[in-house]
Structure 1
Amino acid sequence: MAGRKAVAAPPERDLWLLADDDTVRPCVVAVSVWRMRSVALHRALTEAADPPLRALPDDVVTLLGELDAPPRLGAHLRAVHDVAASLVTSLADACPGLAVHAHEVLFGAATHDIGKVVHPSELSGPGSAHEPAGYELLVSHGVEPRLARFARDHGSVAYDGLSVEDLLVVLADKVWKGKRVPGLEDEVTARCCAASGEQPWEAFLRLDDLLERLARDADARLAFQSRHPL
């Protein structure tokens, strides 16, 4: 109506409501809630952890803020991304002949569960609806399909049909919490053998040692994630 002042609101939020006396009481409450959530997300993405966790890529941090992602999702993505980075770095030494697009792995790990913005119940319960939703969400925000695919495919168990980059994202999403998946590890071992020509047992021993070291910090990563609200 004429004479009423426009009230700014967070992006994609219908949080404001003008009362008859031109006050903005409901808006104050709603925006306060949004600000608290924004602060909580920032904390999940920047808070020091023990052992330390790498920061997410800047473009992913920006996107999570735009989407008002749940803080726990931010914490989870940060933990999985950190494990993926360790995998990429260590495999470069353990299996130097294995060609890996590190940027794809890191982006995939940093965004694999982003569809849980759309399906937040899957943050605390089972479900796979977030997988196609994550792909669509990323593409709708200008992410190339070849990078958005990790959100869609990280739940795949058809390991022999996945690229090396996909395998490493799936592996990071398991070992961050200490979970070992023999079929998945066998496929990664096979890719290393194909690249290096070494015997499977040699490649597996190195991979097993790496995964054991990463799994030791699983409890700390789980505790870090649980500190942040849904």
Structure 2
Amino acid sequence: MTTVPTVPSVALGATSDPVLRPLPEEVAALLAEVGAPLRLVAHLRCVHDVAARLLDRVGRRDPAPAVDRWAVLFGAATHDIGKTLHPGELSGPGSRHEEAGRDLLLAHGVSPHLARFAANHASWGTPGAGLEDLLVSLADKVWKNKRVAELEDLVVTELCRASGRPAWEEFLDLDEFLTAVGEEADPRLAWQAAHPVHG
């Protein structure tokens, strides 16, 4: 007898290939409450895992930049929640999910500080985007081995500001890490694709 996947099982269940951290339980409950498609839950879990790895790497800096770890993890775990309302954007282009996601989170009692990631994860180049916003955007790219030089440059600039290290050192360190994460993209992509867009 086969087990039918559910939002909680995709969000929280053990995985082996790839090995992924579970989403926060409160996020899993929210995704179940809004009826998030399983493909979306799988995507959010992949991005959340990469964001956690980025945070671990950034946190080993001396000095480590001041980053609200919970905000980044929550942002990564919910950044595309608006695709619940615009499921066509799960398999095709579109940006309607961005504002819709922020509004959905606000309607469920999430603070504007945390809901912002749903609206701004694709607009990382706008003035005022801080390191937390950039890390969510970066995780949303590199989980599938997509490299965006302009985004990575902005992250390097923020890391240099915190560490005082030369840009080339920060760049080489980040590049090495992102290359390693990108090389592991195929199992993540396959795991996400194994989950249905509808139902």
TM-score after normalising by structure 2: 0.93
Structure 1 window deviating more from structure 2 (126-135 vs 64-73): it is 64-73
The alpha carbon displacement at 1:58 in A equals 0.7
Instruction: Determine which of 139, 150, 163 is the counterpart of 1:183.
Output: 150
2:124 and 2:133 in contact (8 A); partners too:
no
Q: Where in structure 2 are there 5+ consecutive unaligned residues?
A: none
1:95 and 1:118, CA in 2 relative to 1: closer, same or farther beyond 3 A? farther
Of 125, 143, 146 in structure 1, the residue corresponding to residue 92 of structure 2 is: 125
Cα gap change, 1:47/1:70 in structure 2, threshold over 3 Å: closer, same or farther?
farther
Q: Does residue 162 of the first structure (1) align with residue 129 of the second (2)?
A: yes
Q: Report the counterpart of residue 204 of structure 1 in structure 2.
A: 171
State whether structure 2 residue 8 is matched by structure 1 residue 42: yes
Number of residue-to-residue matches in the alignment: 193
CA displacement 1:62-92 (0-9 Å, x = unmatched) = 0011111100000000000000000000111
Cα offsets for 1:117-165 (capped at 9, x unmatched): 1000000000000000000000000000110000000010415530110
Task: Quote how far apart the aligned CAs of 1:222 are.
Answer: 0.3
Q: Give the secondary-structure state (helix, strand or coil) at the position aligned to 1:161.
A: coil
Within the candidate set 72, 96, 110, 2:39 is matched to 72
TM-score, normalising length from structure 1?
0.81
Aligned equivalents of 1:95 and 1:119: distance in 2?
A: 42
From 199, 217, 220, the equivalent of 2:184 is 217
Partner in structure 2 of residue 11 of structure 1: none
CA change 1:111–1:216 in 2 (3 A) is same
Whether the 8 Å CA contact 1:60–1:111 is kept in 2: the answer is yes
Cα RMSD between the aligned structures? 1.3
Moved more, 85-94 or 45-54: 45-54
Which residues of structure 1 form unaligned runs of 5+? 1-35
Identity of aligned residues (%): 54
Higher relative contact order (CA 8 A, sep 6+): 2
- Map Cα deviations across residues 92-127 of structure 1 (whole Å, 9 max, x no partner): 114633111100000000000000010000000000
From 137, 147, 158, the equivalent of 2:114 is: 147
Counterpart mapping for 1:9-88 below 5 A: 39-45=5-11, 46-88=13-55
Match of 2:58 in 1: 91
Give the residue type in structure 2 aligned to 1:43: S
Distance 1:79 1:188, change over 3 A: same
